Structure 1
Amino acid sequence: MAGQISNNSWIYRYENGILQEQLDEIVTEQPLTIMLDGQEFATMVCSPEHLEELTIGFLASEGFIRQQEEIKSLNIDESKGIAYVDLHVQVTTSHEFHSKRFIGSCCGKSRQFYFHNDARTAKTSTSKTTVTPDQCLSIMRQLQDSSLIFQETGGVHNAALFSGEDMIISRTDIGRHNALDKIYGYCIQNKISVKDKIIAFSGRISSEVLLKAAKIGVGIILSKSAPTNLAIKLAEDLNITAVGFIRGNSFNVYSHSHRISD
Structure 2
Amino acid sequence: MSDMIINRKILSYRNGELKEKEDIIVTEFPLTIMLNGVEFATMVCTPTDIEEMVVGFLGSEGVILNYQKDIQSISIDESKGFAYVETTRKVTPSVESQTKRFIGSCCGKSRQSFYFQNDVKTAKTATTTQTITYHQCIELMQSLQSTSEIFKETGGVHNAALCTQDKLILSRTDIGRHNALDKLYGNCLMHKIMVRDKILIFSGRISSEILLKASKIGVGILLSKSAPTELALQAAEELNISTAGFIRGNRVNVYTHPERFVLNN
TM-score (ref. length: structure 2): 0.96
Match in the other structure for 1:98:
98
Match in the other structure for 1:245:
246
User: Aligned partner of 1:89: which letter?
Assistant: R
Per-residue deviation, residues 180-233 of structure 1 (Å, max 9, x unmatched): 000000111110000000011000000000000000000000011000000000
Q: Is the 8 A contact 2:200 2:214 kept in 1?
A: yes
Q: Does 1:229 align with 2:220?
A: no
Q: Does 1:39 align with 2:38?
A: yes
1:241 CA displacement = 0.4
User: Aligned partner of 1:24: which letter?
Assistant: D
How do residues 1-262 of structure 1 correspond to structure 2 at under 5 angstroms? 4-69=3-68, 70-105=70-105, 106-262=107-263
TM-score (ref. length: structure 1): 0.97
Report percent identity of matched pairs.
59
> Residues of 2 paired with 1:156 and 1:109: CA distance?
38
> Mind listing any 5+ residue stretches in structure 2 that lack a counterpart?
none
> Residues of 2 paired with 1:76 and 1:254: CA distance?
40
> Residues of 1 paired with 2:9 and 2:190: CA distance?
39
User: Which region of structure 1 is more displaced relative to structure 2, 109-118 or 49-58?
Assistant: 109-118
User: Aligned partner of 1:88: which letter?
Assistant: T
Per-residue deviation, residues 23-46 of structure 1 (Å, max 9, x unmatched): 110000110000000001000000
Per-residue deviation, residues 99-121 of structure 1 (Å, max 9, x unmatched): 11112333334442331011110
Aligned residues: 261
User: Aligned partner of 2:204: which letter?
Assistant: G
